[in-house]
Amino acid sequence: MHEWALAEAVISTISRLAESEGLREIKEVKLKIGELQQIELEVFKFALTQLRDSSLLKNAKFNIEVVNAEIKCRNCGFEWSLEKEKIDKDAAEAIHFIPEVIHAFIRCPKCGSPDFEITGGRGVWIEDLKGVR
């Protein structure tokens, strides 16, 4: 599953960051996930708790914020937010696995152009770590 692989990468990255910062225990992790990743949050949270078996992360609390997708049309300059309810189930599934295919399913609501850039709401990043040295 996509969520498990992502959780494994996050745990690995946190471990490396903690080591480089000299932290012996992580208490809290703040994660941001772009809406276009379309992560099943409950599955992702479960995976994080199951994969945190090291003493470094055993008591860590994970706070996750979903960042809305922001889009800007290259043709007319119009900016808008993605509304999931306007995406059909098949399109949502494709975007979940390969966010770049969004261009095949979405058009600018103002001019109808498929030529746009995603200015926010992509990726996964660790916003903050709180730990004990």
pLDDT digits (tens, 9 = 90+) for 91-128: 877 877 777 888 898 899 999 999 999 999 888 999 99
Predicted pLDDT at 1: 56
Q: Which residue segment(s) compose the domain that 36 sits in?
A: 2-132
**Nearest to 36, CA basis, from 109, 92, 117, 103:** 92
Tell me if the pTM is above 0.85: no
C-alpha dihedral sign at 103, 82, 72, 3: negative
- Number of domains, the chain: 1
Single-letter amino acid code for the residue at 56? L
C-alpha dihedral sign at 68, 98, 124, 77: negative
Two tokens, residue 41 = 């949050």
Which CATH number characterizes residue 82's domain? Answer: 3.30.2320.80
